Amino acid sequence: MSSETIIAQKPRRGRPPKVERAFTDTRQALIRSGLAVLTETGYLSAGIDAVIKNIAVPKGSFYHCFQSKQEFGLAVLAAYGSFFAHKLDKFLLDSTVPPLERMAAFVLHAGQGMAKYQFRRGCLVGNLLQEAPLLPEAFPQRLIAILDEWETRVARCFTEAQTQGVIPQDASPEKLARVFWSGWEGAVMRARLVQSAAPLNQYWDFFAHSMTTKTPAQDGASADNPLPTRNTLS
C-alpha cells in the first residue's frame, strides 16, 4: 500500500463536515426554542410554527431533525429534565451550605428565574402533568422518571439534614421529597397566576417549618427533639 493511499485513508482532522455541524446546531436550536415555547404553553397547544419562528428556520429543517411533534416533545422534555437535574445538583450538592439552606437557595433562584421572564414560563414538567391524560402514551413514564430523579436529589439533601438532627429521625426523606415536589408544582402555577415569587417562598417556608418545628414533650417525645412526623411521612 503506497504512502499516498495511507494518507488518503486517514480521518480528517479539524472541524467536522459543515453539513453534520449544521444538523446538530439546528437540532439544538430547535430544542432551545421548544423549551421557551413549551414552558409557556405546554405540549398540546404548542405549534411547530411558533418553535421555528423563534429561530427563523424553515419547517423542512424541523422535520429533517425530528420525524414528528411527539419525537420533538420528548427531546425537549429530556433536555429540560437534564437541565433541571443539573441545576438541583448545583445547589443541593454544595456541602459548604447547610442542607435546608441549599433548598432555600434553590427556591430563591427559581423565583428569580420566573421573574426574569415575567412569570410567563413555568415548569415544563408541571405543564405536562396537567395535560397527562391527553398526552401520547410515551410521555407519562418519562415524566415519572424525571420526577423520580428530582425526588432522589431532594431526598438526599433531606437525609443530610436528618443526619444533622434538623429533621426528625422517624421521618422518611424519600416521602418528604415526594410531597415537596407535589406541592412545588402547585406553587409554581400560583406564582404564574399572581405574577409573583411569593407563593414559592411561602410554600418553602411552610414546608421547612413543618419538618423542623419543635414542640413541648408529648407522646414520649422530649422537648429537645422534634415530634415524630405524621404517619404519611414515615
Cell 409557556, located at residue: 40
pLDDT value for 54: 86
pTM of this structure: 0.80
For residue 128, the model assigns a pLDDT of: 97
Q: H or E element: which one contains 141?
A: helix 138-163
Q: Indicate the range of 23-32, 112-121, 186-195, 201-210 predicted with least confidence.
A: 23-32
Domains of the chain: 70-213 (1.10.357.10)
Summarize pLDDT for 20-73 with one digit per residue, the tens.
446 678 999 999 999 999 999 999 999 999 999 989 888 999 999 999 999 999
Dist. CA 35–CA 17, nearest whole Å:
27
Question: 99-126: per-residue pLDDT in tens?
Answer: 999 999 999 999 999 999 999 999 999 9
pLDDT over 60 at 191, yes or no: yes
CB count within 10 Å of CB 115 equals 13
Could you give the CA distance from residue 205 to residue 186 in angstroms, rounded to a whole number? 15
